[in-house]
Amino acid sequence: MFKKKVGMAAVAGVLLLAASASTLAAQDASRPAHEGPSVSTPADQIKFVNTGIKTDKGELPAYGNLQKGRHGTFLRMPAGFVSPAHTHTEDYYAVVIKGVGANRPPGANAVPLPVGSYWFQTGEEAHVTECLSKTECLFFLVQPGKFDFAPAK
């Protein structure tokens, strides 16, 4: 009976050490930090807000927190919208969800990017982003830092 209790205590101790080690490993800075709980949001429940990006067609609306750091954001552009040449501090990735967009260096020809297309934009590199379609465009952007917009020099 004593051996059985010691054996059970040893197993419990090993499990406790393993749990402690995994907790310490989870706190290790080399492991990714999680952003919070997982979320699922139906498209008809996404609430767009103004971004502060002002255009001749009005302010561009978005869903996501562009200003606080790393983000994934839905960005709407009106049909026919062409941005001025501009830069962002951070790199970003984008996917076309609706419409036909383009992202190009200033002066370059637009390459139509239909639904499902992707582009990567290097930070601090001048570019023009546009909605080529006759209907609004919807893009999903992922950026490792907060969003900014500076006119190109």
- CB neighbours (10 Å) of residue 50? 11
Q: pLDDT, tens digit, for every residue of 113-145?
A: 999 999 999 999 999 999 999 999 999 999 998
Domain presence at residue 82: yes
Contact 141, 97 (CB under 8 A): no
pLDDT reading at 2 higher than 60: no
Domain that holds residue 1: 1-33
Q: What is the pLDDT of residue 27?
A: 52
Better-predicted residue by pLDDT, 77 or 17: 77
Are 53 and 128 contained in the same domain? yes
pLDDT reading at 1 higher than 60: no
Kindly report the CATH number assigned to the domain that includes residue 49.
2.60.120.10
Are 92 and 140 contained in the same domain? yes
Are 112 and 71 contained in the same domain? yes
Are 96 and 117 contained in the same domain? yes
pLDDT reading at 16 higher than 60: no
Q: pLDDT, tens digit, for every residue of 31-80?
A: 777 777 888 888 888 888 888 777 788 888 888 777 778 888 999 999 99
Bridge partners for 119 per DSSP: 94
Are 23 and 53 contained in the same domain? no
Domain presence at residue 59: yes
- Whole-number mean pLDDT of the chain? 82
The secondary structure of the chain in percent helix, strand, coil, rounded to multiples of 5, reads: 20, 35, 45
Burial 71-92 (b: 16+ CB within 10 A, else e): bebbbbbbeebebeebbbebeb
Are 104 and 146 contained in the same domain? yes
Contact 105, 126 (CB under 8 A): yes
Domain presence at residue 105: yes
Give residue 142's region: left, alpha or beta (phi > 0; psi -120 to 50): beta
Are 50 and 97 contained in the same domain? yes
Is the pTM for the entire model greater than 0.75?
no
Are 70 and 25 contained in the same domain? no
Are 66 and 15 contained in the same domain? no
Q: What is the pLDDT of residue 78?
A: 95
Domain presence at residue 38: no
Nearest to 127 by CA among 142, 111, 145: 111
Q: What token pair was written down for 43?
A: 């498209």
Q: How many domains does the chain have?
A: 2
Are 52 and 28 contained in the same domain? no
pLDDT reading at 98 higher than 80: yes
Task: In whole angstroms, give the CA distance from residue 36 to residue 33.
Answer: 9
Q: How far is CA 54 from CA 84, 107, 149, in A?
A: 11, 22, 10
Are 18 and 49 contained in the same domain? no
Q: What token pair was written down for 4?
A: 């059985």
